[in-house]
Amino acid sequence: MCRKHSGSLFPQNIAFPTPTITPPLSSNTSYKTYASSPNALRGFCSTCGSALAFHDKDTPEMVEINVGAFDEEVLCGKRDEENAWEDEYGRHVPRIGGVGSEMCHPKYHIFVENEIRGVTDEFAGLKYLTDQESGKGFVGKVGTFKRGGGG
C-alpha cells in the first residue's frame, strides 16, 4: 500500500508530533483522508491528488508527512540567483539552506519483507520485517536469513 500511495519503490516519510503542525492539516479544506486499512488513514490533496500524509490510528500523536510534499525551498534551499552562472550545460543556480539531506537519511526501515533485491535491500540502518511492534529489528538483508533462525 505504501508503494501505491507514494508512487515509488520506497516511500520517504518523516514523522512529526501532530500538535507541532500548524495550522493543522485538517484545517485546509483541500486536505482529505481515506482509510487505507483498519488502522491507517492516508492524507491527500483533493485539488491536485498529491499524496501527503500517513496517520496510524494507534499513534494519533504523530503524523508522517511524505518528503515529496515539502516545498522546494525547504528541501533544496533558496535559489541564490545572485551567484548563478552559465556554461555549456546551462544555467546553474546554487542553493542556500535546505534540509533535504537531513530528511532523506532514514534511521530505520519498516516492511522490508517486501524488499526488492538489489534496490531497497541495500539501505543501511535498522530494519523491521513488518513494523516496529511485530518483531526484532535487524541489520542486513532479509535474503540472508536462514529458515528457522536469524541471519
Structural domain contains residue 86: no
How many structural domains comprise the chain? Answer: 2
Sheet holding 40-45, edge to edge: 13-17, 62-66, 51-56, 40-45, 31-37
Full-model pTM? 0.64
Give me the domain span that covers residue 142.
106-151
Structural domain contains residue 112: yes
Task: Judge whether 97 and 78 are in contact, CB under 8 Å.
Answer: yes
Mean pLDDT computed over 30-51: 93
Confidence (pLDDT) at 33: 95
pLDDT 10s digits, 95-150? 999 887 776 666 777 777 777 777 777 777 788 888 777 788 888 888 777 666 55
- What is the share, in percent, of the chain residues with pLDDT greater than 70? 93
Domain boundary among 58, 74, 90: 74
Structural domain contains residue 65: yes
